[in-house]
Chains A and B, each alone.
Chain A
């Protein structure tokens, strides 16, 4: 549905609960509004998990198809965002396991780095080193770190999405940070001596 049609028929005052109720009964305008509100972040999470733009687009599609099919079962016991992102992470992880593209992602990362936003505060070499160190983390640690520290999920949300205890999520982030510190320590010393 074109965006222009939405602009005329979607009432911005509708809250998320109302949009969900309308989407459940097949209101595509409401469904599109929900999609517009969350698709970019779902895509970003999928991309950060899989590192492949095409796959991330496919995963975003799969996530929302599943979300709209399962929406009647959403009881509102957790926030819609939490429920949605749990589906997003689960779909992304399952797809990664299926297509086994984890090993191929390094080639895609070169392309991805062209899209990275530059920030003036951090030395570009250090940033590159950090990103490489994050990619080199074991998958469980990397996912917990990306979801909590980079994407801003709470440990409870990370735990639900990854199927681990909240405490395990905390422990994984702690361990990931320790490994990053170790990986970057020598480089930081060199940098300070320059």
Chain B
């Protein structure tokens, strides 16, 4: 085969090689328009999930550090006044310093509960046929981190809040591990847990009672 013959063949191939079926250009445009020109109101309305969860986590870490520091200082001062030889072993609850240290927890817990309630509301109901938004597992993973931080903080010392956080930890772990192939099974389990443990009403109740908690 010479170059001329191959050129002829390749010229033919330009017309015949993998000629696509007529593309659905209008349908493709509709999707392009929806995605590329979608209003960005969600982003403008407030910080994104990552920012929000990072802020909650950061304030918790800061709160834990402040709490431990002030508790340690107060306990040491109290014990030192009563018995200079004794080592500080317990926290001095209810002091103004401790109440001030509790403020970041209250705000972080409130934000965390609000974000978690939003996430649970965004979950497709069992059997609804809706697909799980792809970001939910990632958001759940971030909230799971916050849950564990809260459990380790003075918030976790309140028995009622501790029970709620432990239940949320379980649900968030399930959402974080949602996989498309086993989604139906997992969503059923999550729905059962939400109903059996009455999680959403308990979140509402916890938010309402937050200001009365003492950490």
Listed in ascending order, the chain A residues whose CB lies under 8 Å from chain B are 1, 3, 26, 28, 31-32, 35-36, 39-40, 43-44, 47-48, 51, 53, 56-57, 60-61, 64-65, 68-69, 109, 112, 115-119, 121-122, 126-127, 130-131, 134, 146, 149-152, 177, 180-181, 184-185, 188
**A150 pairs with B28, CB closer than 8 A:** no
**B1 pairs with A134, CB closer than 8 A:** no
Partner of B14, one of A39, A152, A184: A152
- Name the interface residues of B1-54: CB closer than 8 Å to any CB of A: 1, 5-6, 8-10, 12-21, 23-29, 31-33, 35-37
Partner of B20, one of A32, A47, A68, A119: A47
Partner of A26, one of B19, B26, B37: B37
**A68 pairs with B13, CB closer than 8 A:** no
- The smallest C-beta distance from B148 to any residue of chain A, in angstroms, reads 33
- The smallest C-beta distance from B43 to any residue of chain A, in angstroms, reads 14
Secondary structure type dominating chain B contacts: helix
List of B residues within 8 angstroms of A180 by Cβ = 6, 9-10
- The smallest C-beta distance from A113 to any residue of chain B, in angstroms, reads 9
Q: List 13 A-B contacts (CB under 8 A).
A: A31-B36, A31-B37, A43-B23, A51-B18, A53-B20, A53-B21, A115-B21, A119-B12, A121-B12, A122-B12, A130-B13, A131-B17, A131-B18
Q: What is the bound-complex CA distance between A19 and B139, given in angstroms?
A: 39
Interface residues on B, range: 20 to 34
Partner of A149, one of B8, B10, B25, B27: B10
List of B residues within 8 angstroms of A64 by Cβ = 28-29, 32, 36
Partner of A28, one of B13, B16, B37: B37
Known A39-B29, A127-B12: A109·B23 in contact at CB below 8 Å? no
Q: What is the bound-complex CA distance between A32 and B33, given in angstroms?
A: 9
List of B residues within 8 angstroms of A51 by Cβ = 18
**B13 pairs with A131, CB closer than 8 A:** yes
Q: What is the bound-complex CA distance between A127 and B5, given in angstroms?
A: 12
Assuming A122-B9, A177-B10, A188-B5, what are 7 further A-B pairs, CB within 8 angstroms? A47-B20, A60-B23, A64-B36, A115-B19, A117-B19, A150-B17, A181-B1
Listed in ascending order, the chain B residues whose CB lies under 8 Å from chain A are 1, 5-6, 8-10, 12-21, 23-29, 31-33, 35-37
List of B residues within 8 angstroms of A60 by Cβ = 23, 28
Q: What is the bound-complex CA distance between A180 and B2, given in angstroms?
A: 11
Q: What is the bound-complex CA distance between A92 and B9, given in angstroms?
A: 26
- The smallest C-beta distance from A101 to any residue of chain B, in angstroms, reads 14
**B15 pairs with A119, CB closer than 8 A:** yes
Partner of A35, one of B5, B10, B18, B29: B29
List of A residues within 8 angstroms of B8 by Cβ = 121-122
Q: What is the bound-complex CA distance between A115 and B23, given in angstroms?
A: 12
